[in-house]
Amino acid sequence: MTKPLCIMLVAAEASGDDRGAGLMAALKRRLGPDSLRFVGLGGQGMAAEGLSSPFDMSELSILGLVEGLKAYPRVIRRADEMAALALREQPDVAILIDSWGFTVRLAQRLKAQTPNLLVVKYVAPQVWAYRQGRAAALAKTVDHLLSIHSFDAPFFERVGLPTTFVGNSTLNLDFSGADPDGLRRRLGIGPEAPVLLVLPGSRPSEIERVGPHFAEAVALLKAVRPELQVIVPAASTVAEMVRTRVAGWPHRAHVVEGEADRYSAMQTATVALACSGTVTTEVALAGTPMVVGYRLAPLTYAIIKRLIRTKYVTLFNIAADAFVAPELIQVACTGPNLARELALRLDDPILRQAQVEAQNAALVKMGRGGPDPSEAAALAVLKLLGRNEPLKI
């Protein structure tokens, strides 16, 4: 009997878990589940596909300079543990998904202890926006890059890192399991009631920084719009934290969990208030207009502001080269400012429709409607391993 292919996957945040789960499913479709063994780190999605994690990946969902410095000892300890796991399990390939700070340190350890191990980075650091030196640093620690943006390759290939564009899996979200009307009925929300979707982030630091301002915006809107219904999808990594905070709001809000309810909420919402990140693309795919808010630690923001090379933080705004969705960042991210932009959209269906159309045009520029990125990533990994097998029907 042929020895199963051992694949190590490491994800440290919710978006990485989604990509990892998609890649695992695609690999199983190609080789069959009995031909594969998965080890590494992930969240609920990757666990559902068969990966058992040695610790909770939320420990590594860190954003910001100050937060990173505080968490540095933990990051190093966990990187050492994952390197020891690789040495013990002897994977055929290690695929490190997003999460630059953690995965680059793990890649360094993997290459030091097992120079011949094939190490693949899935999702490039955003060197097109800032810190272009990371391209050369990555080229020294991994063998291949799977990129989700078509414009990534030149930055990495010029420093000697082979790059395969596989596309952004977020653009191929499957909304077939969503039931927006059913969600309204279950939550007791009338079919015509306006719904505000609030997405405060998937990292504890994000919720701590934007949460109070999002809560103030909701309170301001509810004070003059008592009919407004509020739905807050909670990412699995921070579900308890979100529930605790929302329970303290002066007005009732519906907290939902799970992929089906999350996508149903995105589709039934009149407008969304979203923390900057992958979720903005998801909401755009659902056809919902939004306002984007974000805050970093002051020192982190001061440093990044000097380094960043793009006017926008939201991917579809970058693709459109315009503020399709308003971005209220740092000191501009206040309750009154957020409430003002949301109110404009709640009160003006023509504005909402125009924003949705602009979002859709930007999504096409980003690659919406292209091949399945998870399948493309699986094929790229198998090609690197010298395998190229048809789908198992």
Show pLDDT as tens, one digit a residue, over the chain (393 residues).
578 999 999 998 888 999 999 999 999 999 998 999 999 999 999 999 999 999 887 777 655 554 555 667 888 889 999 999 999 999 999 999 988 888 999 999 999 999 999 999 999 988 866 677 889 999 999 999 999 987 788 889 999 999 999 998 888 888 998 999 999 999 999 999 999 999 999 888 889 999 999 999 999 999 999 999 999 999 887 899 999 999 999 999 999 999 899 999 999 999 999 999 889 999 999 999 999 999 987 777 676 676 666 788 898 998 898 999 999 999 999 999 999 999 999 999 999 999 999 999 999 988 888 888 999 999 999 999 998 665 554
Distance, in Å, from the CA atom of 206 to the CA atom of 334, rounded to the nearest integer, reads 14
pLDDT at 152: 86
Instruction: Match 């209220």 to its residue by tokens.
Output: 328
Is the dihedral angle over the CA atoms 343, 348, 353, 355 positive or is it negative? negative
**Sequence-ordered strand ranges (E) for 142-262:** 144-147, 163-165, 195-199, 229-233, 254-256
pLDDT at 393: 43
5-167+371-384 CATH pick, 1.10.530.10, 3.40.720.10, 3.40.50.2000, 3.40.50.970: 3.40.50.2000
Q: Are 138 and 121 in contact (CB under 8 A)?
A: yes
CATH class of the domain defined by 180-366:
alpha beta
- Cα of 196 vs its chain's centroid, Å: 21
pLDDT at 107: 96
- Kind and range of the H or E run holding 379: helix 373-384
Alpha-carbon separation of residue 319 from 125, 142, 306, 315, 349 (angstroms): 17, 28, 22, 6, 24
pLDDT at 5: 95
Q: Are 21 and 245 in contact (CB under 8 A)?
A: no
Q: Quick one: which of 295, 285, 244 has its CA closest to 262? A: 285
pTM of the model: 0.72
Q: Where do you find CATH 3.40.50.2000 in the chain? A: 5-167+371-384, 180-366
* Lookup: tokens for 137: 């640093």
